[in-house]
Amino acid sequence: MAEILKGAPVAAALTEKLIEQADGLKAKGITPTLAILRVGENPGDISYETGAVKRCEKIGIDVKKFILPDVSKVLDTIENINADKNIHGCLMLRPLADKNIEKAACEILCPEKDVDCMTEKSLAKIFTGSPGFAPCTAQACMELLDFYGVELEGKSVAVIGRSLVIGKPVSMLLQNKNATVTMCHSRTKNLAEVCRNSEIIIAAIGKANFIDKNFAAPGQIIIDVGINLDSDGKLCGDVNFNEAEPIVKAITPVPAGVGAVTTAVLAKHVIEAALVMVK
């Protein structure tokens, strides 16, 4: 029986600490504030937004919502968020329908408010290993590993997927902790073998139940970042949990794994952005 690495205790521990920090900020007259920018009514966006708002409320972070019917006012809205000294962080729900506007938005957001790592400056910091806000989901993997005491130094890690929100940044964060990362993707040959030979797997490939028993090995830790629907319309990860769980040492569930940590990381970044004001 593998240890099940649930996200809730990780989020709870983060939240507890963040409440203290938010109280400290308020005592100094600063109300940590997150701007959420959403375009349209995508159910996934709304669901994530709802979770983020709930987490922020719990911690004592104000949320200002900017909900736009279409992309025409996205850039103006970001300029306003940049100019507003009472806003410390900005989450723009992505992807936008218009790639050019999304790109322009990423270019103009003030890097100090870029709590989900959408700007080039933030991405460069992750690449170079400088302090900065990583994408929330990538950072959530790191928080989860840290919470459960997983040593990363010298460990072999297979990261599957190379997106800018998970695969690439988490690879750099893991390397920063002296792990040896193999960056895998859809064109990787012998993927199952590469995974079997790795001590840790980070699955972020976006394919329901793709990582089956052939990828798993005894002693392994599997972090499943995927959020997919299986053929029955049921929420599932990139990992076939039922096949992998009996083999490995520890595994995150989906739902209630990494996904449960993401909004706590978002809140952490907002608090950190607000703390800069005090310094």
Contact positions toward a second copy, by CB under 8 A? 120-121, 123-128, 153-156, 162, 164, 168, 171-172, 175, 178, 180-185, 187-189, 194
| CB 268, CB 18: distance < 8 Å | yes
Of 275, 266, 265, nearest to 144 (Cα)?
Answer: 265
Strand, coil or helix: 211 = strand
Residues 6+ apart with CB under 8 A from 183: 159, 162, 167, 168, 171
Give the single-character DSSP code of 88.
Answer: -
Q: From the CB of 28, what's the least distance to a second copy, in Å? A: 30
Of 68, 116, 60, nearest to 90 (Cα)?
Answer: 116
Q: Which is nearer to a second copy, 52 or 195 (CB)?
A: 195
Q: From the CB of 194, what's the least distance to a second copy, in Å? A: 7
Q: From the CB of 121, what's the least distance to a second copy, in Å? A: 6
DSSP string, 128-179: HT-S-PPPHHHHHHHHHHHHTT---TT-EEEEE---TTTHHHHHHHHHHTT-
And the tokens for 260? Answer: 């449960």
Count Cβ atoms below 10 Å from residue 8 Cβ, excluding itself: 12
Q: Which is nearer to a second copy, 154 or 246 (CB)?
A: 154
The rounded distance, in Å, linking the Cα atoms of 237 and 230 is: 9
Q: From the CB of 155, what's the least distance to a second copy, in Å? A: 8
First to last CA, the chain: 47
Q: Which is nearer to a second copy, 187 or 234 (CB)?
A: 187
Q: From the CB of 131, what's the least distance to a second copy, in Å? A: 13
Q: Which is nearer to a second copy, 118 or 144 (CB)?
A: 118
Q: From the CB of 175, what's the least distance to a second copy, in Å? A: 6
Q: Which is nearer to a second copy, 72 or 178 (CB)?
A: 178
Q: Which is nearer to a second copy, 80 or 190 (CB)?
A: 190
Q: Rounded to the nearest 10 degrees, what angle do helices 8-27 and 43-59 cross at?
A: 60
Q: Which is nearer to a second copy, 189 or 234 (CB)?
A: 189
Q: From the CB of 105, what's the least distance to a second copy, in Å? A: 15
